[in-house]
Amino acid sequence: MTAADVQATILGVWRIEQPRLITSLSRMLRDVPLAEDLTQETLVAALEHWPVSGVPEKPGAWLMATAKRRALDHLRHASMRTQKHGMLAHDLAREQETMPDFDSALDDDIGDELLRLIFTACHPRLSREARAALALRMICGLTTEEIARAFLQAEAAIAQRIVRAKRTLSESGLAYETPCREELSERLASVLEVVYLIFNEGYTAARGDEWLRPQLCNEALRMGRVLSSIAPTEPEVHGLVALMELNASRMAARIDAAGEPILLMEQNRALWDRLQIRRGQLALARARELGGAGGFYALQAAIVACHAEAATSDATDWRRIAALYGDLAALVQSPVIELNRAVAIGMAEGPAAALAIVDALAHEPALKSYHLLPSVRGDLLQKLGRFDEARAAFETAADLAGNARERELLLRRAATAARAARDA
């Protein structure tokens, strides 16, 4: 195995194991930011040792053992000023060899360790944006760059937000706590946002060589289903579950055998998971029964349901989709929503109507580096026969795209537009 192979293996294992490491260390140390720091140190240790000693037979167990040893060393060498710290260090030292599951006996209203930690990070003392950024970075393993893309903000601004949030948690004395049932509702909106952004990153990866990260989608779906049992009367929980189920139903049709992206209108709908579509429809119906038809997630789920219910791409009710995007735009002022509405209007009323909306978004600061803006514009220009402009737009989009697969797709579209321009 080459050094590059070892490093790729480490990063692959790391993506899987990081949330488990942080949750375990947080339970031990009662300090989420410290747990995150020690988890990062564990990654550094793997990067130093595995290229020399080889990848362990059980790499996840190696990481966990190393992380727990570092936690124990920290407690041993830190100033043991309180009896609690002394007792905790004693317990860790006594049980280090067997490494039991410290969380298995925990009894609370959440019942899922990763969700419990996300609820912890989403403390009301932090701003809504800081809660989500902190949870996504420390607990869910997304990079600062990926989070910045999700929020359409500068990476430096997100990094500062995370640092301030960690400092607030550490200095407040509230670094680790499991909220009781009456506190869950005030944190629920932030937790839903975190789960939503995790799913989105898995559904269309911001960076890397693969367009999909199914593990993130599956983890978000799992947490969404747990949330629906924790908060069964909250319509937005069911709306989010519906949105994720319906989107995930298309996963098998979104890439070809080589891993290349397949756009929605070109997908083989026979590959869509009808059982998962049915689950999504039932969750959406439940959200509506609870009075949440106009919620942020329920509206998006209704849009995806329009696609799921169309037997063919030509049968899609684009006017209905455009109207739903209008409702969503009235609820949340977002240039991304407006861009999506433009796509729907383009399908319902023609590319010229959509291009006017897209051109009006050209100076939106949040979309300055958003590759889908020139991508959508290129598609509309191509439909209008303005092939040279379409080529330029696709090339701009490719320059902005961080995902390798998506960049290659955009460059292929640019080449197609260039050929059409020559033939015109």
Residue range 228-286, pLDDT digits in tens: 988 899 999 999 999 999 999 999 999 998 888 999 999 999 999 999 999 999 999 99
Tokens of 215: 């593990």
Lowest mean pLDDT among 131-145, 168-182, 190-204: 168-182
Cβ–Cβ under 8 Å, residues 55 and 6:
yes
Q: Quick one: pLDDT band at residue 134, thresholds 50, 70, 90?
A: confident
Cβ–Cβ under 8 Å, residues 233 and 290:
yes
Q: Identify the residue with better confidence: 260 or 26.
A: 260
Which letter does DSSP use for residue 178 in this model? P
Q: Identify the residue with better confidence: 324 or 56.
A: 324
DSSP E strands: which ranges in 336-418? none
Of 213, 143, 132, 209, the closest CA to residue 401 belongs to 209
Give the mean pLDDT of 40-62: 88
Other Cβ atoms closer than 10 A to 48: 10
CA distances to 237, 263, 406 from 260, in Å: 32, 10, 8
Q: Quick one: pLDDT band at residue 184, thresholds 50, 70, 90?
A: confident
Q: Which residues of 176-194 are buried (b: 16+ CB within 10 A; e: fewer)?
A: beebeeeebeebbebbbbb
Q: Is the pLDDT of residue 319 over 80?
A: yes
Q: Identify the residue with better confidence: 82 or 179.
A: 179
Q: Is the pLDDT of residue 1 over 70?
A: no
The gap from C-alpha 355 to its chain's centroid, in whole angstroms, comes to 29
Q: Is the pLDDT of residue 26 over 90?
A: no
Give the mean pLDDT of 55-78: 85
Cβ–Cβ under 8 Å, residues 149 and 402:
yes
pLDDT, residue 284, reads 98
DSSP E strands: which ranges in 167-288? none
Q: Is the pLDDT of residue 100 over 60?
A: no
Tokens of 149: 């893309």
pLDDT, residue 177, reads 58
- Please report where in the chains the tokens 């948690």 appear, as a residue: 169
Q: Is the pLDDT of residue 104 over 60?
A: no
- pTM check: above 0.85: no
Which letter does DSSP use for residue 403 in this model? B
Which letter does DSSP use for residue 57 in this model? S
pLDDT, residue 98, reads 44
pLDDT, residue 175, reads 52
Cβ–Cβ under 8 Å, residues 152 and 13:
no
Other Cβ atoms closer than 10 A to 57: 7
Give the mean pLDDT of 218-234: 91
What tens digit of pLDDT does each residue of 137-154 get? 776 677 888 888 778 788
List of residues 6+ apart from 57 with CB closer than 8 A: none
Q: Is the pLDDT of residue 80 over 80?
A: no
- For residue 403, the cross-strand partners are 208
Give the mean pLDDT of 55-63: 88
- What is the rounded end-to-end Cα distance, in angstroms, of the chain? 51
pLDDT, residue 180, reads 66
Q: Identify the residue with better confidence: 261 or 166.
A: 261
Q: Could you give the CA distance from residue 191 to residue 198 in angstroms, rounded to a whole number?
A: 11
| 3-class SS of residue 280 | helix
pLDDT, residue 94, reads 56
Tokens of 304: 């995806």
* Angle formed at CA 351 by CA 418 and CA 412, multiple of 5 degrees: 30
CA distances to 92, 119, 266, 276, 296 from 233, in Å: 40, 18, 38, 22, 16
Cβ–Cβ under 8 Å, residues 102 and 109:
no
pLDDT, residue 84, reads 53
List of residues 6+ apart from 208 with CB closer than 8 A: 403, 404
Q: Is the pLDDT of residue 101 over 50?
A: no
Mean pLDDT (the chain, rounded)? 85
Percent over 70 (pLDDT), the chain = 87
pLDDT, residue 81, reads 47
Cβ–Cβ under 8 Å, residues 197 and 203:
no
Give the mean pLDDT of 329-344: 96
Q: Quick one: pLDDT band at residue 22, thresholds 50, 70, 90?
A: confident
Cβ–Cβ under 8 Å, residues 80 and 191:
no
pLDDT, residue 343, reads 97
Q: Is the pLDDT of residue 381 over 80?
A: yes
Give the mean pLDDT of 51-61: 88
pLDDT, residue 53, reads 87
List of residues 6+ apart from 34 with CB closer than 8 A: 25, 74, 170, 175
Q: Is the pLDDT of residue 90 over 80?
A: no
Per residue, the 3-state secondary structure of 36-49, as one string, reads HHHHHHHHHHHHHH
Other Cβ atoms closer than 10 A to 98: 6
Give the mean pLDDT of 285-307: 97
